[in-house]
Structure 1
Amino acid sequence: MPYLESLRVFVRVVELGSITSGGRDLRMSPAVASNRIKELETRFGVRLLNRTTRKLVPTEVGRAFYENARRVIETLNEAEAVVSGFSGSPHGALRITAPLGLGRRLIAPLVPKFCDEYPGVELRLRLSDRNVDIIADGIDLALFLGEPQDSALKWRRIAECRRALVATPGYLAEHGHPKRLEDLSEHNCLLLRYPRSPEYYWVVDTPDGPQKLLVNGKYDADDGDVLTDWALDGRGIVNRPRYEVAEHLASGKLVEVLPDTPPVPSQFGALTPHRRLQDPKVRLFAEYIAREVRGIFV
């Protein structure tokens, strides 16, 4: 169905802002994606896209065409999902996003087994510690650590992810062991931050309930693994998911700081656009991840 394929290309090019990105997302070369756009423009005798110095933007008629084409594609996807539900054989592209550390350690190793069980599914995994626009990026399922803020998305809680404050014995020998939460203000705290992030703080669990703790440090990064590497190099105290540093705690390379007042657990779950909820492959993948990670965060 060349026309429907051209519609898919046009929608993704508009959403991603370039022919190269749109084509890559659909696993086709920029030349093929460009030809699909030209076929549409020739078919209707209008220009659908204008090129600026930075990206492609739709013309006025292109914007109107995009809104309708997007609805056509969504309706088609929903129809395919219904058929897949009856046939028991889900198929098509499944776009998943997850934080870097979580994605590398837990999610990526599980992908091949899922695809073996459902060979009709093409799974596209995108890993990033930065905020992702799930709707604009066409994400089907976002695996998430924390509390989601977007009420337009469906949140499925899967498990609690326990956290720990950790540092090397060498760092603590040189700078002292914090005895109270207030002592952390005298230490180099390694911070997970990204552009436009809010004021930084840790939330710790105390006998009086959760307490917000303002912390500071010389270094910050938008990749949690970088923070762990800095901590292993004796550069400071880091707040990490316990499962990510369990091996280093067991070996003694890292030790826990203030274990009686640990960071509050992060909620691990899945965010899904409401319109994707009926797609069997989305539901099956969420259920599969929930089964496979059970017990890891304990």
Structure 2
Amino acid sequence: MITIEKQIEKILLETVKNLYADKELKPVEITVATNEKFGDFQSNFAMMNSKIIGGNPRAIAENIVNNLVINEVIDKIEIAGPGFLNIFLKDSLLGDIVKKISKEKYEFNELNMKGDVIIDYSSPNIAKRMHIGHLRSTIIGDSIKRMYKFLGYNVVADNHIGDWGTQFGKLIIGYRNWLNQDAYKENAIEELERVYVEFTRQSEEHPELEDQAREELKKLQDGDQENYRLWQEFIKVSLDEYEKLYSRMGITFDTYYGESFYHNLMPGVVAELEEKKIAVEDQGAKVVFFAEEDKLHPCIVQKKDGAFLYATSDIATVK
């Protein structure tokens, strides 16, 4: 089924071609009427093309109305102001569309649908409750996904979860030292948040805990079996909790490729940036500097201790 706008556009285009075939005209543009008193749709074609055609916009509009090709779509066109076309649709057309709308799909043949549309949204951080910012991203992202699917694109919805980073070393320490098992069974994320806060409090008095957390993170990154098991558990209980919200809203994802998925790609990303002389070494770190006119802060892609940053993960994700 062709959209109403395209049907109107086709009728007006045929009309103006009959009238002004020798002119290089600007395209016919159809917009929804700003007020129902002024019809269903509007066009400022006469005003946009008056200089090209060489005449008064209102006179051009009258010429279009008086020579409109025979059709089953437009009931009447009224001229407003200096030459606006206010378009009223036939009731029979609207009735026909209502009959078809649940049975036929709209055609959007003018769109280039090559390739995939990949949408990254929601993206909560593991072991933390979703906040209003995540909800906002979830709603906007899923709305975009649904619109693109409706248009006929092949869409990949990716929940780029925050499942990697320094917080996991702290969580592992907190889990082993201060976890309340009953509270964890009741609400896992709430309890993980509590032990994370407890770690922060304890580390103020015992700064050596920060070093211990870095050691546990390093063990996780090196594939330590027990730390890897805990990390997977944190992800599972978090996704189970997030799914309660997603299911209530009818939201689904095609992939859950979080930051950890791209961890092994990041050394190659930094190497490529250096090879192409995009990143340079600065005080032991690998940094991308921008032209002064760009007014952008330098982007660190690898710290001097070898650690990668969010920027590195994002580049790897795009790649």
TM-score range, shorter chain: under 0.3
Q: Normalization by structure 1: what TM-score?
A: 0.28
Q: Normalization by structure 2: what TM-score?
A: 0.27
Higher relative contact order (CA 8 A, sep 6+): 1
Bigger fraction of residues in helix: 2
